[in-house]
Amino acid sequence: MTSPRPPWPPGVESYDYALFGEVEKRPLSPIRKVIGRRLSASWTHVPHVAHFDEVDLAALEALRARLKPEAEARGSKLTLLPFILKAAALALKEHPEVNSSLDDAAENLILKKYVHIGFATDTPIGLVVPVVKDVDQRSVLELAGAIAALAEKARAGRLALTDVEGGSFTVSNLGPLGGTGFTPTISAPEVAILGVARAGPKVVELDGRFVSRSMLPIVLVYDHRAIDGALAGRFVQSLRGHLTEPERLCS
């Protein structure tokens, strides 16, 4: 049986892993250090709770196929993300407590009248979160263009401060890499984040029959100081409704 690693002696902040074999020491990038500090602070100070659900994508995929030619004519690739941002914006307007922040003393809830949604983007220097402003006031096709432009700036390392500040909610979409589910860490001082995993076929009951549908796993992770389970459930129910009846996203 392998012996457990001995505890670090008092005052020692690292361990000599080379005692057991060859190692390589790779310094963390500056952005990785910043991400680490922020996520550690969020996890330490924010009580995270996760609410899981699934979305039937049949109607949404049909709408996306219909809108793809127009999106391509505009020079945009129409993924699921613009629909998810738009649905989240509508749900946030219906449940404004989720579109909020706690003040420094955690005694007041700051309800935001604007809807600026960040989306986590993988780049060569690490994870960054560009923010799409006024999501509730933009069409799905406009959102597709804004997302593409910000993602390209992020990958090229050309994001300005104004491109990453002011977010009121965040979506972390792992797409084809997303597995069956995950729990993202809240980007404090926001009070919630939506995680989107990989869609896949699943047998479900529909009108008394068992059929195969493409189902999208989602999770709302929320700050329990600001949001209780009932509100989280209503928000996710609203979000799911907008995605399963997507025509309302284009109205």
Point out the residues that are catalytic.
224
> Across-strand partners of 204?
211
Compute and round to an integer the Cα radius of gyration of the chain. Answer: 21
Angle between helices 58-73 and 229-244 (to 10 degrees): 60
Cβ atoms of 136 and 93 closer than 8 Å: yes
Q: How many helices (H) and strands (E) does the chain have?
A: 6, 11
Q: Measured between alpha carbons, how far is 82 from 89 in angstroms, rounded to an integer?
A: 11
- Distance in Å from the first CA to the final CA of the chain: 64
Comparing C-alpha atoms, which of 129, 141, 112 is closest to residue 226? 112
Question: Any idea how long the chain is?
Answer: 251
Cβ atoms of 64 and 78 closer than 8 Å: yes
> Which residues contact residue 139 at a Cβ distance below 8 angstroms, ignoring those fewer than 6 apart?
86, 250
CA dihedral 198, 128, 148, 217 (to 10 degrees): 20
* 208 torsion bin: left (phi>0), alpha (psi -120 to 50), beta (else): left
> Could you identify the residue written with the tokens 């993924």?
79
